[in-house]
A and B are shown apart, each in its own frame.
Chain A
Amino acid sequence: MADQSDVWLVVPVYNEAQVIADVVRNALETFPNIVCVDDGSRDGSADAIRGSGAHLVQHPVNLGQGAAIQTGVEYARSQPGAEYFVTFDADGQHQVADVLRMLERLRAEPVDIIVGTRFKGDDSHIPLIKRVVLKTVVAISPRLRKLKLSDAHNGLRVFNKKVAEELHITLNGMGHASQIVDMISHRGWRVTEEQVEILYTEYSMAKGQSLINGVNILFDTALKTGSKR
């Protein structure tokens, strides 16, 4: 297996004490560098992370997933030798094998960021309503179509140092996924996507963001200002 010491996994964590230690332990077998950003959890997630072998960065208050990803990336990019970055969910939905494949492509192909997609192969395991909503998002977004992205809200992304340096997520909540797409198109990052498998376990289904949150995402995205501060 290739040496993965130039890769950093960024894992935003919010109330995942039950599973986070296992997720980290599993990923650590392949990736030596993992930073977990505990986003003000109240269930002992931080302690679980402390024992797991991952780096722990702890928000003093809950800020939202977008803010946690930004914090994790800022931490990781300041570490010596960090070249590749992966955003990875804490609930065990993502597969290490998918990450490896994406990294291999990132190292070999002229791209800056690779986004995971659930929709390139057989997507019948995805809950119907999720499928419909996610596909609608793509259908009504000219930007996604232009970038040829089929899954706007996949939490699994790998990117290089250029993207990490230029990443500025300002939408703290779940709107960050659209904001990243925004940055891809504005900053001209070369993007492609890779088929990944999402495990819909009972746990992740209960934890996953509810679709009604899409309303919040739309609102935040629509009212994003031109303010550069």
Chain B
Amino acid sequence: MLIQFLLIGGVIVLLVFFLRHHGTTKTAAGVKIGFALFMVLAAVAVLRPADVSMLAEFVGVGRGTDLVVYALVVAFGFATINTYLRFKELELRYARLARAIALRNAEPPKHDDAVAAVDGNVDGNVAANAEATVDATADADAKDQARSA
């Protein structure tokens, strides 16, 4: 049946195109045009069901309603992919923003006395680390307080 070729072929072509070129102005415009066309077709389907049925018969679906359902499934699929890709893009921007903040606030290690204190500490839990740092030297103590302030 013609419709099978149309649907499957169309989906594959669109999908490949979509994934390769997503994010360009052209594709964004294409998506909008596609959406507008879809709305027009929906309006036609409601106003002139007989025409849709004729078209459906031509492509081998049977009833006009079935054709509309098929079109809807495909449209839904693309809407989902579009949303997914859009979210991915946002996620990436968000990651870059967070990264910029993280890099700006990077903390180099507190100096040797702190490291030495940790070296002497076998236990490895946070509270003990803090204690060991305070015990180590008066200098470390001062730093520790400055940090918690």
- A and B: real partners? yes
Hey, which bits of chain A sit against chain B, CB under 8 A? 17, 21-22, 25, 28, 35, 37, 44, 47-48, 50-61, 63-64, 67, 70-71, 74-75, 78, 170, 172, 223-229
> Contacts of A74 on B, CB cut-off 8 Å?
99, 103
Least distance between B24 CB and chain A CB atoms (Å): 7
Hey, which bits of chain B sit against chain A, CB under 8 A? 19-24, 81, 84-85, 88-89, 91-92, 94-95, 98-99, 101-103, 105-110, 114-115, 118-119, 124-126, 129-130, 133, 147
**A60-B108 in contact (CB<8A):** no
> Contacts of A22 on B, CB cut-off 8 Å?
124
> Contacts of A223 on B, CB cut-off 8 Å?
19, 81, 84-85, 88
Q: How far is the CA of A70 from the CA of B96 in the complex (A)?
A: 10
**A225-B126 in contact (CB<8A):** no
Q: How far is the CA of A75 from the CA of B125 in the complex (A)?
A: 27
**B89-A229 in contact (CB<8A):** yes
**B126-A60 in contact (CB<8A):** no
* Given contact pairs A71-B102, A226-B19, A226-B20, A55 touches B89 in the complex (Cβ within 8 A): no
Q: How far is the CA of A165 from the CA of B19 in the complex (A)?
A: 27
Least distance between B132 CB and chain A CB atoms (Å): 8
- Can you pick out 22 interface pairs between chain A and chain B where the beta carbons lie within 8 Å of each other? A21-B118, A25-B119, A35-B106, A44-B126, A48-B126, A50-B110, A51-B118, A52-B118, A53-B114, A57-B105, A57-B106, A58-B105, A59-B99, A63-B95, A63-B99, A64-B95, A71-B99, A75-B103, A172-B92, A225-B85, A226-B20, A227-B21
6 tightest A-B contacts by CB?
A: A227-B23, A51-B129, A53-B115, A226-B20, A225-B22, A56-B107
Given contacts A51-B126, A56-B109, A227-B89, 14 further A-B contacts (CB under 8 A): A21-B126, A28-B115, A54-B109, A55-B107, A55-B108, A55-B109, A57-B103, A58-B105, A60-B102, A63-B95, A172-B95, A225-B85, A226-B19, A226-B22
> Contacts of B115 on A, CB cut-off 8 Å?
28, 53
> Contacts of A51 on B, CB cut-off 8 Å?
114, 118, 126, 129-130, 133
**A61-B89 in contact (CB<8A):** no
Q: How far is the CA of A37 from the CA of B101 in the complex (A)?
A: 12
Q: How far is the CA of A51 from the CA of B124 in the complex (A)?
A: 9
**B129-A21 in contact (CB<8A):** yes
User: Main SS of the interface on chain B?
Assistant: helix
Q: B20, B99, B108: which contacts A225 (Cβ < 8 A)?
A: B20
| Total of A-B residue pairs, C-beta within 8 Å | 108
Q: How far is the CA of A18 from the CA of B118 in the complex (A)?
A: 15
Least distance between A220 CB and chain B CB atoms (Å): 8
Q: A58, A60, A61, A225: which contacts B23 (Cβ < 8 A)?
A: A225
**A37-B126 in contact (CB<8A):** no
> Contacts of A229 on B, CB cut-off 8 Å?
23, 89, 92
Closest to A71 in B: B99
Closest to A220 in B: B88
> Contacts of A226 on B, CB cut-off 8 Å?
19-23
> Contacts of B107 on A, CB cut-off 8 Å?
50, 55-58
Q: How far is the CA of A45 from the CA of B28 in the complex (A)?
A: 42
**B22-A21 in contact (CB<8A):** no
Q: A61, A71, A227: which contacts B103 (Cβ < 8 A)?
A: A71
Q: How far is the CA of A44 from the CA of B124 in the complex (A)?
A: 13
Closest to B116 in A: A53
> Contacts of A67 on B, CB cut-off 8 Å?
95, 98-99
